[in-house]
Structure 1
Amino acid sequence: MLDEPKQRKQRPETESDREQIIHAAIEEIRPNLQRDGGDCQLVEIAGSKIIVKLTGACVFCKLSNFTLERIQAQLVERLGEFVRLIPIAGATKARH
């Protein structure tokens, strides 16, 4: 017997809906990272590029790539479109 195909998520109707989905996906994983001394924060959304900042224990964690892949997969699934998650490590330099 064949399984019914999984329903694809519909693309968000507005940019605001899209941003809310992205924020929610990242916020969902943050408590797990914070429990282990790390964090992941949304920095910028630039089209299909989603830039996040890893801090604390996440900066040096050997599993951070796995964590980023998991977040990216959640975003692709929820948004119904390909997005690329781009990490920046630690605090950014202050501009003078």
Structure 2
Amino acid sequence: MMPFSDEDLRPPVSSIVEKKIAPMLARDGGAIQLLDIINGRVFIQLQGACVGCSASSSTLKFIVEKELKSAIHPELEIVNVPQGMEKNLQEL
């Protein structure tokens, strides 16, 4: 069970995404956007060169998920939102 509310999670998740993960992805032409946090599920979207990249699943697992889980809470669920699904997060 997640001991934090979505509002509690937003500042640290946003900070890690913007200051730590985004610069790593930008070096290879990629980008990341935090879309929302709902019930402890962190909805992000890989963008730029990450879209369609064969390594994007590894990026999600070994960079995004690892950073957020180790820094905030091991039970965080990270969801990569496909292009075009930004308004349908509840369906994912």
TM-score range, shorter chain: 0.7 to 0.9
Cα-to-partner distance string for 1:46-88 (whole Å, 9 max, x where unaligned): 1221001111110111111111112112211111341111112
* Structure 2 match to 1:4: none
Larger Rg belongs to: 1
Q: State the partner residue of 1:72.
A: 65
Q: Distance in 1 between matches of 2:9 and 2:31?
A: 22
- Normalising by structure 1, what TM-score? 0.70
- 2: CA distance between counterparts of 1:15 and 1:46? 6
Instruction: Quote the sequence identity (%).
Output: 27
Task: State the match for 2:9 in structure 1.
Answer: 18
Structure 2, unaligned runs of 5 or more: 88-92
Tell me how far apart the structure 1 counterparts of residues 77 and 6 of structure 2 sit (CA, whole Å).
17
What are the ranges of 5 or more consecutive residues in structure 1 without an aligned counterpart?
1-10
